[in-house]
Structure 1
Amino acid sequence: MRNSTIPKGFAQNSIAYIVYSNPAPVRSLLYDCGYEPPKNIHHLVEATKELVQKNGTAIISKLMEVHPDKKAILSLQKKEAPKKGSCNSCSEDNYLEEDNFCGSCGHSNYMGSGDEDSFLDQFSDTSDKELEKYYHRIVKKSNANPKDAKLAGEVQMVWNELRQRRLLQTDTPSKEDTPIAIVEKPKSNSFNKEELLFIGLSFLGGFMLCSVLKK
């Protein structure tokens, strides 16, 4: 049995599997494409995914050249052409069912075998709007294939992810929810006209009273 070089605790989709298993040629690929390859293996995975998103099939083909199981894949291809289906992400008919890998966008479907974390990891940089579009697309596909338990599980997982994101947005206070401090207007030390008139009359009355008493 071949010992895996993938770090334990990281269930991976196909792109991550290639990078973790064979990082050196992947770094060379990024460098040839004009990017500085990260030294951190996890950052290298993310950089490779981003490169696939930008360049698509061209990068997928080059990654397949350094796939650690390339010989085994080629031998299987000679015996029988791999079955292709519609990708849940890009809707292209280039999804390899046996490899759980889309040759157009690199997406991997949920296989229902404990790969929940790696499946959801694909959407870490996906906006809420794009994830919602993906959700509606797989719901429609699931309705057309009601017996597909894996697809039904994928629908539920994506819905839970959307729900959690909405809860996080609700818990984050907006500017409108931030209490506004009420600042009391400082009292003026100056006197108004009525107060000055009262003070003047009081002073004048006291002066006249003193004059009468002296007489």
Structure 2
Amino acid sequence: MLQLDQLCKSYQDKKVLESLSFEFRAPGVYAIAGPNGIGKSTLFRLIAGAEAPSSGRVLLDGLNPQDHRKAYRQKVSWAPEMDGIFPFITPDEYFRLVLNIRGQPATDYPRRLIEDLALTPFLRTRYDELSLGNKKKTLLIAALMVPAAVLLLDEACTGFDRSAQETFKKLMKDFAARAIILLVNHDADQLEGIPLTTLDMQHQSQTFLIQGDRT
């Protein structure tokens, strides 16, 4: 279970998140909604453990990212919105680096994901020379290739063509049975057909409001 308990985040005098609480009790796909600047990407950084909250806490199966750094991070996988890879590294090198960091065997190399998302021709292309869609595919594959209880996907299919979008939808349906998937995506058409719950951050107290299932 993922718990957000009275989560607050401020940068100097600017409050980004205030008293945000919610419990994700079951695997599934949750779309995080709200206008730009409301704190969706900040929320992901807090859940990933990349930043500490100003107050409140994040708990995943009783662990928090500050006191249980390694054990917590082994349970979370994150595809950030912005470039999160050295510009000179190739997708092939990055996937092998992720396996090494996570302590996964080389046999876990994500060949099936690479084939399904048609990234094979670009495995040895520098990251800064990839198209936006192929950069996003690289980040998505890296997030999906390791075991995780929570997947954080920030604009994960931006730049995808129709075929890649359909593959993304299938992957979400497959992974929804075993992980809590939090999605930020501004193009509703890209999520069409994915069974999901929408959690709206645009609420007076900034407490998540469950709007219901969308099919």
Specify the TM-score bucket, using the shorter chain as the normaliser: under 0.3
| CA radius of gyration, larger in | 1
TM-score normalised by the chain length of structure 2: 0.26
Higher relative contact order (CA 8 A, sep 6+): 2
Q: TM-score, normalised by structure 1?
A: 0.26
Bigger strand share: 2
